[in-house]
Amino acid sequence: MVGTVWLVALFGIFSAAYSANYKCQGVARYGLTFYGMWSNMTHPNAFPFPSGHFSPLVGASHESAYSLWMSGMKASQGVKNVAEMGDSTVLEQEIMQRITSTKTAWKQIKSGNMAINGTESVMNIEVEVTKDFPYVSLVTMLVPSPDWFTGIMKVSLCDASSGTWMDSWTIDDLQPWDAGTDNGTTFMAANNPTMPPGYISIITTTAPPTDFMNLSSSAIPTLGKMMLVRQNKPTMNQCSGMYYYTVKFEAKWSQATHPKGFPSSAHFSPLVIATHSYKYKMWSDMTRASPGVEEVAEIGAEGTLYNEVDKMKKSGFVSNVYKTGTISTPGGYTSTKIMVQNMYSMVSLITMIAPSPDWFVGVDSYDLCGTNGWKEKVTMDLLPWDAGTENGQTYKLNNMATDPVDVIMRITPNSNSDIGAHANVTFATVTFTREEMTTTQATTTASAPGLSAGLFAILSVSLLAIMGVLY
C-alpha cells in the first residue's frame, strides 16, 4: 500500500519533470538565409513567367501575444499591403508600434529593399530573439499575384524542453497563403478586393481557385527554404571538481563619486548570489526583470528572488543561492563564501542602489571557469542598471510603475537622472578569490547534464522523504 502510494507520487514527479517548459535566457542572435525555389521548372504552370519573384522579407521577433499573421485570422492592413503589393511600409509601422508602444515585439527583421527573384538566396538577415520575445514571424509576397504570400508564423527559437536556444532551425516547405483580401484567381488578375475581407488561408492544388491548380502534382512543391543559424553561441569552458570562492563586495558610492542628489540614507540592499550553469540567468541586459529581481531593484527586499533562485535548483540549472545583510556606503563591505562545481561554474548577484526607483548593480553570469581552469582572482567594477519596472529620475522610492514594463538596461551618461553624468563611475567593486582546495572538496568528479542532475536531486529528496515515512 505504502509502496503503491509512493510509486504514484514518484510517477507524478517524473511526469512533471518530463513535461518541463523552460524559458530560454538572455539574447540570441541568428543569421537567416532565404533560398527561393520558385520557377517554371519547379512549378510548371504555377509560375508567372518570366517575372515571378518575392518581395523583400519582412517580420519581427515577438512575444506569444502578437500574431503577425496566422491561419484563420484577418490580415492586418500591413500584411494586406505586403500580400497585395509587396509594400511593407504599413507593416513596418505596425511592427514599430508593437516595439515601442505595446512592447509585444522586440526587433524588426528585413531582408533589405530589393525584390528577391524566384531562385535567389538572400543571406545574413539579422534576427534577434530574447527571453521575452523568442518567436519569429515573416512574410513575403508572391509577385505578381492578387494577395498571395508565403512566410513563417510564430516559430519559437527556444527549445523549451531544455531551456536552451536552438543552434539552428530550418523549414524546407514554404507553402503559399491567401491573405483573404483580394479574390483574384490568377497571378495576373486585376485588383478585386474581397468585400468584406475573408481570413488568411492556405492555398492548395484544390482550393481556393488559383493558378496553383494548374500543377500536375497533387501537392504544391515548396516555394523556398529558410534557415536560421545561431551567431552568438557561447563558448563552453569545462572545469571539473568543486571549489570555494570568497565573494567580497565593497561599497564605493559616495557624495564624492556621485555628487548629484546623493541621499543621506545611501546603502546597498542584501546581496543575492547564485552559482549556476549557463542555462540560468538571474538578470541580463535587454530582458525583463523577474518578479524577484524587480523586488530587489525597487525596494531592496531579497526574499522573493531568493525563493525564485532556490526553486531553480530543482530544474538542475542552479547549484546554490546565498544572501547577505545590508551594506552601508561608502566603505561598507561584505564577504561570502560560495561553492562552484563542474558545470555550475557561473556566478550572478544583485543588490539595490538604495534608495532609488529601480536601480541596481550586479553581476550577470560571470564564468569562474576559464580556458585554463578555475580562475584564481577577479575584481570587477559594478556600474548602475535600470530594471525597467519603475519610473523616476531621483534617488527616491515609490514611483509609478513603468507600463508596459521595459527591459533591463545600463544607465548611461546621457540619462536624465541623478546618476546621469556619473553613470560610468563605479558604485561598488566585487572580488572573487579562489580558496585552496581541501582533500574533502576534491572528491566530486563526474559532471552530470542539467536535467539528470535535477532529477537526481528530486530523486534524492523523494528517497529522503520515503525514509522519513518508513523510519
Q: Summarize as ranges the residues that interact with ligand NAG (CB under 6 A).
A: 40-41, 44-46, 48-49, 117, 119-120, 183, 185-187, 192, 194-195, 211, 214, 413, 424
Question: Closer CB to ligand NAG, residue 92 or residue 120?
Answer: 120
Which CB atom, from 195 or from 446, has the smaller least distance to ligand NAG? 195
E strand intervals along 98-167? 105-110, 116-117, 121-130, 135-143, 148-156, 158-159, 164-165
Of 120 and 126, which has the nearer Cβ to ligand NAG? 120
Q: Which amino acid is at 356?
A: S
Minimal distance, residue 9 CB to ligand NAG, in Å: 51
The residue (of 38 and 66) whose beta carbon lies closer to ligand NAG is 38
Query: Nine-digit cell at 49?
Result: 513567367
Is residue 127 within 8 Å of 30, Cβ to Cβ? Answer: yes
Kindly state the smallest distance separating residue 334's Cβ from ligand NAG, in Å: 25
269 phi/psi in degrees, rounded to 5: -70, 165
Nearest distance in Å: CB 379, ligand NAG: 16
Which of 325, 395, 385 shows the shortest CA–CA distance to 355? 395
C-beta closer to ligand NAG: residue 123 or 463: 123
The residue (of 71 and 424) whose beta carbon lies closer to ligand NAG is 424
The CA distance from 287 to 281, in Å, is 10
Cβ atoms of 198 and 180 within 8 Å: the answer is: yes
Nearest distance in Å: CB 470, ligand NAG: 58
Distance in angstroms (rounded) separating the CA atoms of residues 391 and 401 = 6
The cell numbers describing 198, all together, are: 475573408
Task: Point out which residues pair with 380 in neighbouring strands.
Answer: 430
Q: Which residue has the cell 561584505?
A: 334
Mode of pairing for the β-strands spanning 58-62 and 148-156 = unpaired
- What is the rounded distance in angstroms from the CA atom of residue 345 to the CA atom of residue 415? 34
Between CA 335 and CA 376 the distance in angstroms is 16
Query: Within 13 Å and on the Cβ side, how many CA atoms surround 82?
Result: 32
State the nearest-atom distance from the C-beta of 192 to ligand NAG, in Å. Answer: 5
Q: Which is nearer to ligand NAG, 217 or 335 (CB)?
A: 217
Residue whose CB is less far from ligand NAG, 187 or 385:
187
Distance in Å, CB of 213 to ligand NAG, minimum: 7
Provide, rounded to whole angstroms, the least separation between the CB of residue 435 and ligand NAG.
Answer: 31
> Could you give the CA distance from residue 331 to residue 337 in angstroms, rounded to a whole number?
20
Q: How many residues would you count in the chain?
A: 471
Cβ distance to ligand NAG smaller for residue 221 or 241: 221
Smallest gap from Cβ 53 to ligand NAG, in A, equals: 8
Strand partners, 125: 32
Min dist. Cβ of residue 187 to ligand NAG (A)? 6
CB of 183 to ligand NAG, least distance (A): 4
Instruction: Identify whether the C-beta of residue 247 lies closer than 8 Å to the C-beta of residue 336.
Output: yes
How many CA atoms does the CB half-sphere of 268 hold within 13 Å? Answer: 31
Give me the residue label for grid cell 495576373. 188
Contacts of residue 468, Cβ cutoff 8 Å, sequence gap at least 6: none
| Closer by beta carbon to ligand NAG, 42 or else 341 | 42
